[in-house]
A and B are shown apart, each in its own frame.
Chain A
Amino acid sequence: MKNELSRRGLLSSAAAAALAAALPAQSFAAAPPAGKQAAGFYRYKVGDIEVTVVTDGANRLPITDAFVVNVKKEEVNAALVAAFMEPGVFVGPYNPIVLNTGGKLALVDTGTSEAGYIASKGATGQLMTNLAAAGIEAGAIDTVIISHYHGDHINGLLKADKSLAFPNAEILVPANEHQFYMDDGNMSRATKGRVEDVFKNVRRVISGEVLKRLRTYEWDKDVIPGVLAVGTPGHTPGHTSHVVSSGSSKVYVQADVTHAPFLFARNPGWHAYYDQDPVMAEATRRKVYDMLSAEKMLVQGFHYPFPSVAHVEKTATGYREIPMPWSPVI
């Protein structure tokens, strides 16, 4: 545009043309823009365990009064502006992790799926491409641990052709979550709309080959060595967090105890529409975040901005996440 004009101006005069010939070609056009983001994975150690955060991308959702059920959209937009984010739109990231415990290669939650990747034109459903970028073969994952049965956590179990995304993995799910969503009585009583849709999606994904490889796990027990299941219900009835520990190091994998922290850790009393029992979810959130802040425990949040690992501090009105500084080496 402007550059082109000045270039054209230059080229029209013979003297300038001679000058142009003397200059290397590079002066006229830079290398083309890459137009592509860096691969979204990031590694850190928890004792001997290697954690690889593998982003599934981020979703853009318009802010309406229905987004936070007990707060008007104006207040949500004001919080977004205070967080230097675009008002009117909620950018919600999805961040599954891979744990290499030495004995197991475990994926915790699976993102929005390959079908989601196609439907969103690559904005979400990036797990498979970012796993590949991280050098992690889907076939090498021997365990998939599910925190709860919402679509953005289970849909990635299946590829677009409905085959298993992790064909060699045992699929470990919270027992009470499984019971709740597989119960036909609960399904028949589900409110039309979103809650019923969650049931329908669970029945679609948790079936066939997935069901054959599925095993339920209990709260307060190790799911695999080094990964303890902790009940954090409210968001869903069987919503589970995981404490990953090795030696004296620990990280609290909080799944959806809060959704994006720039809204829901800062305002723990806000009830996002996807909290099934918002009062219980809030109580759980406050309990977990009081513990995290008191113990200065590292937290990994599925909906925290990538790489989604942080500490949490208590503030006058809620909690503030302090992202771990990126380490360019491991």
Chain B
Amino acid sequence: MAKLTRRDLLVGAGASLAVGSKALAGVPVAGKQVPSFYRSKLGDFELTVVSDGARPIPLPPRFVLNVPNEEVLKAAEAAYMPKGTVFAPFNPMVVNTGSKLVLIDTGYGPIAPTVGLLPQSLAAAGIDPKSIDIVLISHLHGDHINGIKKPDGSLAFPNAEIKVPAEDWAFWMSDENMAKAPEGFFKASFGFNRKVFGDIKTRVTVYQWGSEVAPGITAVETAGHTPGHTSFVIASGASKLFFQADVTNVPDLFLRNPEWQVMFDSEPEKAVATRKRVYDMVSAEKMFVSGYHFPFPGLGWVEKVGTGYRLIPAAWNPVL
């Protein structure tokens, strides 16, 4: 219909003159997304969420251990994800405490075309990787640790102290555990740890739950997803953020259905218990939360609804 109108226009010489060349040629589409970073103030701290990208998770026959894939995909579709996919974003965060520049989790590295975007997001945000003082790791899964190294094997954040949770370090660096690990995701995770940490063990510091791992940032035990899975309470003045890492993965599935045991959980039942404990707490206290796999920028609040919880994303603030 529209095309016909334009063709009609073009056959009449007078009409085409009136339209002008600009309208006919058009401007090429940009074809490129905005570099995805987002800033928020937390007391005196400046937070910058720096996206590592997003991708549809390749679904094995059982993505959620206690729920068939059809039901999972139905929930994903009800959440308007592209049909047949579970879409997962990755949201590392930079915290400028005034005295330290802290990067929390480092992204997947370039394992697929639409992930491993952290370096370009950092560059767009004007953050020099050399200026990162501390790399803080929530747990030792590939999508959180791979970005510690560049593809050539050198350190992506050469001046940073790398801090990892003690329990995860003990678990994932154990050759005995690796030998026992099932093929697939778990075996691969052990492999990522060796590839990332094998030759830089001396640069790694382990931290304990309950300790202040950077100024204003406290490590909180939220085990289950991995044995040492850690969340962080980031506090400045009266303001607080609960960085929940992977207490839940994609909220449309696992906040809505906190009982669902995603295949990535090391200890599924413990992960469910942790999830309920954390979300009862953050919903009751109306705590500001960030989620590594929440839709970018992944900041918001959680409310209890029915048998689960719902994420209320924070409205984008166009000024800082």
- Taking beta carbons and an 8 Å cutoff, which residues of A are in contact with B? 3, 24, 26-31, 33-43, 50, 52, 55, 57-58, 83-85, 91, 93, 100-105, 122-123, 126, 133-136, 140, 142-143, 168, 222, 225-226, 262, 296, 305-307, 311, 322-330
CB <8 Å contact, A30 and B48: no
Q: Are B318 and A55 in contact (CB under 8 A)?
A: yes
Across the interface, do B316 and A40 meet the contact criterion of CB distance under 8 Å?
A: yes
Task: Contact check, A38 vs B215: say whether CB atoms are below 8 A apart.
Answer: no
CA distance A50 to B22 in the complex (A): 18
Q: Which residue of the partner chain, among B22, B24, B51, contacts A328 with CB atoms under 8 Å?
A: B51
Q: Is B6 an interface residue (CB 8 A)?
A: yes
Residues of B near A85 (CB, < 8 A) are 315
The binding surface of chain B is classed by DSSP as loop
Q: A134-B30, A324-B80, A329-B33 are in contact. Are A36 and B131 (CB under 8 A)?
A: no
**Cα distance A136–B315 in the bound complex, in angstroms:** 25
**Interchain Cβ contacts under 8 Å between A and B, 29 examples:** A28-B99, A29-B98, A30-B133, A34-B39, A38-B35, A38-B39, A38-B125, A40-B318, A41-B34, A42-B33, A43-B32, A57-B319, A84-B312, A91-B317, A93-B315, A100-B27, A101-B26, A102-B29, A103-B23, A104-B23, A123-B319, A133-B34, A222-B2, A307-B316, A322-B80, A323-B295, A328-B51, A328-B114, A328-B117
Given contacts A33-B46, A55-B316, 13 further A-B contacts (CB under 8 A): A26-B131, A30-B99, A34-B96, A55-B318, A58-B317, A84-B301, A91-B317, A103-B23, A322-B79, A325-B296, A328-B33, A328-B51, A328-B52
CB within 8 Å for A329 and B53 given contacts A83-B312, A222-B2: yes
Residues of A within 8 A of B38 (CB): 37-38
Q: Which 10 A-B pairs have the closest CB atoms?
A: A225-B2, A325-B295, A305-B315, A326-B296, A30-B101, A33-B46, A306-B316, A50-B29, A31-B131, A328-B36
Does B5 interact with chain A (Cβ within 8 Å)? yes
Residues of chain B within 8 A (CB-CB) of A225 are 2-3, 5-6
Seen from chain B, the residues whose Cβ lies within 8 Å of a Cβ on chain A are 1-3, 5-6, 22-24, 26-27, 29-39, 46, 48, 51-54, 79-81, 87, 89, 96-101, 113-114, 117, 121, 124-128, 131, 133, 159, 215, 286, 295-297, 300-301, 312-320
Would A330 and B32 be within 8 Å (CB), given that A33-B46, A102-B26, A142-B23 are in contact?
A: yes
Q: How far is the CA of A285 from the CA of B152 in the complex (A)?
A: 56
Question: Which B residues touch A311, using CB under 8 A?
Answer: 80
Give the complex CA separation of A25 and B24 in angstroms.
58
- The residue that A84 contacts in the complex, of B22, B79, B300, with Cβ under 8 A, is B300
**Contact partner, B98, options A3, A123, A296, Cβ 8 Å:** A3
B30 contacts A50, C-beta separation under 8 Å: yes
Complexed CA–CA distance, A36 and B40 (Å): 9
Q: Which residue of A lies closest to B159 (CB)?
A: A26
Whether A135 and B30, one on each chain, are in contact in the complex, defined by CB atoms closer than 8 angstroms, is yes
B43 to chain A, nearest CB (A): 11
- Contact partners of B24 in chain A: CB under 8 A: 103
> Which residues on the A side are within 8 Å of B34 (C-beta)?
38-39, 41-43, 133-134
Tell me if B27 and A38 are in contact (CB < 8 A). no
Known contacts: A104-B26, A329-B53. The answer to whether A222 contacts B286 by CB under 8 A is: no
Q: A325: which of B5, B89, B317 is its contact (CB, 8 Å)?
A: B89
Residues of chain A lying within 8 A (CB to CB) of residue B314: 84
- With both chains docked as a complex, state the minimum distance between the C-beta of A180 and any C-beta of chain B, in angstroms: 27
Check B99–A3 contact: CB distance below 8 A. Answer: yes
Given contacts A105-B27, A325-B295, contact A93 B46 (CB under 8 A): no
Question: Would you call B32 and A323 a contact (CB within 8 A)?
Answer: no
CA distance A52 to B27 in the complex (A): 13
The reply to whether A34 and B316 form a contact with Cβ atoms under 8 Å apart is: no
CB-nearest residue of chain B relative to A41?
B34
Contacting pair B48 A34 (CB below 8 A) = yes
Minimum Cβ distance to chain A for residue B134 (Å): 10
* Residue numbers in A under 8 Å from B1 (CB-CB): 222
Shortest B211–chain A CB gap in Å is 17
| Residues of chain A lying within 8 A (CB to CB) of residue B101 | 30-31
- For A93, the closest partner residue in chain B by CB is B318
Query: Which A residues lie within 8 Å of B5 (CB)?
Result: 222, 225
Contacts of A41 in B (CB 8 A): 34
**Are B26 and A328 within 8 A (Cβ)?**
no
Residues in B neighbouring A324, C-beta threshold 8 A: 80
A27 to B100, CA, bound (A): 7
In the complex formed, the residue of B with least CB distance to A224 is B2
Within the complex, the shortest CB–CB distance from A176 to chain B, in Å, comes to 22
Of chain B, the residue at the smallest CB distance from A83 is B312
* Set A38, A105, A140, A328: member contacting B54, Cβ < 8 A: A328
Nearest to B3 among chain A residues (CB) is A225
A37, B318: Cβ atoms closer than 8 Å: yes
Nearest residue, chain A, Cβ from B121 = A328
Max count, chain A CB within 10 A of own CB: residue among B27, B97, B318, B320: B318
Min C-beta distance of A122 to chain B, whole Å = 6
CB distance from A112 to the nearest CB of B (A): 12
Are A105 and B53 in contact, with the CB atoms below 8 A? no
For B159, what are the chain A residues with a Cβ–Cβ distance below 8 Å?
24, 26
With both beta carbons as reference points, the residue of chain B lying nearest to A34 in the complex is identified as B126
